[in-house]
Structure 1
Amino acid sequence: MTTPTETALARRWRLEINMGTAEAPSWALCPGVTEFQWTAEPNIEDSTSYDTDGWTENTKTAQAWEVSTTFNRKHTPDDTAYSPVHEKIRTAFFAYGDDSKVHLRFMDRNGLPEAYEGKALVNWAPSGGEYTALDQVEATFTGTGPLTPITNPIAP
C-alpha cells in the first residue's frame, strides 16, 4: 500500500436522494451542489464515580447528525419543471409524518471508502439575492434515526 500524500478536496462529496421506496430504492444525484458539510455530534455524559480514583469517566448516550448543503436550483430549458430531486426535497419540507423524511446517502465521489446513509427531516431556505444572483437553496437535513456507514456504492 502506498502512503497517502494527496489532500482531499471538499468537493469530493456526492449527495443522492432515494426517489423510490425503502423496499425498491432508486438513487438520484442531487444536482448543483455548491457547498456540503456534515456533522455527527455525540452526546457525552459524565459517568464519574468514587471508584475512578478521581479520574473522570464519560459515557456516550446518544448521537445526532446533520447535513447542510447549498445547491443551485436546476430546471428544464423550457422553464416547465425543476429538478425532480430538488422537488422531492422541497415537498418533504412542507410535509408531515413519513412524507417529511428524506432518505439520503452521501459518499466520496472519487470512490474512496467513506459513505453514509440515513433518513432526515428537511429545512428548505431559498437564498434570494440581487438580480444577478443564482437561484440557490440552503437545505439542512436533520437526521431522524441512525446515520449508517455503508460501502461506497461508486467505489471501484
Structure 2
Amino acid sequence: MSTPTPETALARRWRIQLNMADVGDTPDWQTIVGVKEFVPPNPDPNIEDSSDYESEGWNGNTKTAQSWELSMTVNRRINDQVKVYHPTHEKIRLAGYGWGSDSKAHLRWMDRDGLPEAYEGTGIVKWEAAGGEHTALDEAEITITGDGKLVPITNPLAA
C-alpha cells in the first residue's frame, strides 16, 4: 500500500459559527455566511520573570495570564425580497453597539473537513463597515476580543 501524498491545507478550511441562542439556553449554532477572510486566534501569553538566586543565573519565567483575539471579514448577505440582513451578521453587528453581555458573541470555529482543530470562546465584538467605491461589495470587518477561555473542543464536523 502506498503512502498518500500530503496536501497543503487551505485557509478556507474554517467554518465559523455563532450561537444565536440567549445566554443560558441550549446553543443554537448557525454558520456565519460570506466569510472571505478569517484570522484564527493565537493565544497571547503574559509571561512574568520568576527568576531567583537558586537558578544559578538562569532566568525563570511563568505564564500568568493569556488573551486571544480573532478577526474576519464578511461579505454582507441580504434577503432583498424582505429587506433583511443575514441573521448571524445582524446579531454580531448589534453586539458591536451593545454594552455588558449584549456586547459579546459566543463563537466556535472548526476545520470544515472534520480534522481535529476546533475551538470555542466568547468575546467582545468590534464591527466596522468597510465602505468602498461604487463597484465594491458591502463588507464588514469583525474583531472578537476574547473574554475568558479559548477552549479547544471536539470538532462537531468530525466523522
The interval holding the TM-score normalised by the smaller chain is: over 0.9
Which residue of 84, 87, 96 maps to 1:84?
87
Offset, 1:23:
2.9
When the two chains are superposed, the root-mean-square deviation of aligned CA atoms in Å is: 1.4
Distance of 2:74 and 2:122 partners within structure 1 = 19
Distance of 2:104 and 2:146 partners within structure 1 = 9
Equivalent position of 1:32 in the other structure: 34
Equivalent position of 1:122 in the other structure: 125
Distance of 1:46 and 1:4 partners within structure 2 = 44
Following TM superposition, the consecutive aligned residue runs of length 4 or more in structure 1 with deviations greater than 6 angstroms are none
Query: Secondary structure in 2 aligned to 1:140?
Result: strand
For structure 1, which segment, 123-132 or 39-48, has the greater mean C-alpha deviation from structure 2 after superposition? 39-48
Equivalent position of 1:139 in the other structure: 142
Instruction: Tell me the amino acid that sits aligned with residue 13 of structure 1.
Output: W
Query: Secondary structure in 2 aligned to 1:90?
Result: helix
Query: Secondary structure in 1 aligned to 2:91?
Result: helix
Distance of 1:112 and 1:140 partners within structure 2 = 25
Q: Any unmatched runs of 5+ in structure 1?
A: none
Distance of 2:68 and 2:53 partners within structure 1 = 33
Offset, 1:104:
0.5
Query: Secondary structure in 2 aligned to 1:94?
Result: coil
Identity within the alignment, %: 55
Query: Secondary structure in 2 aligned to 1:144?
Result: strand
Distance of 1:34 and 1:114 partners within structure 2 = 20
- CA distance 1:56–1:106, shift in 2 (3 Å): same
| TM-score, length-scaled by structure 1 | 0.95
Which residue of 97, 101, 106 maps to 1:103?
106
Distance of 1:54 and 1:4 partners within structure 2 = 48
Equivalent position of 1:66 in the other structure: 69
Query: Secondary structure in 1 aligned to 2:59?
Result: coil
Which residue of 49, 53, 56 maps to 1:50?
53
Distance of 2:123 and 2:29 partners within structure 1 = 15
| TM-score, length-scaled by structure 2 | 0.93
- CA distance 1:47–1:114, shift in 2 (3 Å): same
Instruction: Tell me the amino acid that sits aligned with residue 24 of structure 1.
Output: T
Distance of 1:35 and 1:81 partners within structure 2 = 23
Query: Secondary structure in 2 aligned to 1:146?
Result: strand
